Amino acid sequence: MQPSRDIRHLLEIMNALRSPETGCAWDRQQTYATIAPYTIEEAYEVADAITREDRADLRDELGDLLFQVVFHSRLAEEEGAFDFGGVVEAITAKMIRRHPHVFGAERENSPEAIKAQWQKIKAEEQAEKQARQGLEASRPKSLLDDVPLPLPGLTRSVKLQNKAAHVGFDWADARLVLAKVREETREIEEAIASGQAEEIHAEIGDLLFTIANLARHLNVDPEAAIRSTNAKFERRFAFIETALREQGKTLEEANLAEMDALWQQAKESEKSGG
């Protein structure tokens, strides 16, 4: 086989990998459950390539993520549920349905009207989804029902908060959220003083949830922010390792004061563009 820009060629490759007679032993063993962690990982790698502004890597990572979609679709096709074409049809139908101001008779195109229409359509879709899944009619529907559980914690916090904000359950100002951050920090201090592990656990969770809320009010993606900080930590720690190596020392041989001094040098070097 040769590389191709035609999506049909990718589907043929997937079919070959899953072939019972001549396919790949590893690919034939996979299920939705075993592939799901790779799907999540590939999505993170797409986000990482975007953060690093590496367009070549982004192309490759998007391909890896697309392959995950193809893989899941193939599994569904094998059990007679749907195929890749069905996935494409479903998303095109959804995009047309959710953009009546572009593809339908609705012509109100202000950001506020579009947002309100989007929420209305999503609510209708959620009701239809629940009906398909056979959820009990007596079960009270929650506004937060469609926020997926597997999302990263901070991302899910923001989505929950956004849902609540749509009905007015929200702080009016970011400074009020910042005051809540300070309050949660004091409660952590009290929990530490009490020495109760469960209480400390709960208060740390409250602080993280409030930090996510603060980020939301300031239009900051908390997941992107923590990824940037993680990368910054890695750069500065690498600076420490390099500097110690040049001094003929290992990390174990250096004390905290030495490492902290090098950390400050790393910070100054970044500020000066060095």
Q: What is the pLDDT of residues 59-86, one digit of tens each?
A: 999 999 999 999 999 999 999 999 999 9
**pLDDT tens per residue, range 173-194:** 999 999 999 999 999 999 999 9
- Alpha-carbon distance of 118 to 95, in angstroms, equals 10
What confidence tier does 4 reach under pLDDT thresholds 50, 70, 90?
Answer: very high
CB 167 within 8 A of CB 147: no
Q: Which residues of 144-155 are buried (b: 16+ CB within 10 A; e: fewer)?
A: eeebeeeeeebb
pLDDT at 134: 65
- Alpha-carbon distance of 179 to 167, in angstroms, equals 22
Place of tokens 């908060």: 161
- Alpha-carbon distance of 122 to 82, in angstroms, equals 22
225 in helix, strand or coil?
Answer: helix
Helix or strand holding residue 228 (H, E): helix 222-246
Cβ burial, residue 230 (10 Å; 0-12/13-18/19+): exposed
Cα separations (Å) of 164 from 43, 159, 208? 26, 9, 17
Q: Which of 68-72, 111-115, 174-178, 224-228 has the lowest mean pLDDT?
A: 111-115
Cβ burial, residue 168 (10 Å; 0-12/13-18/19+): exposed
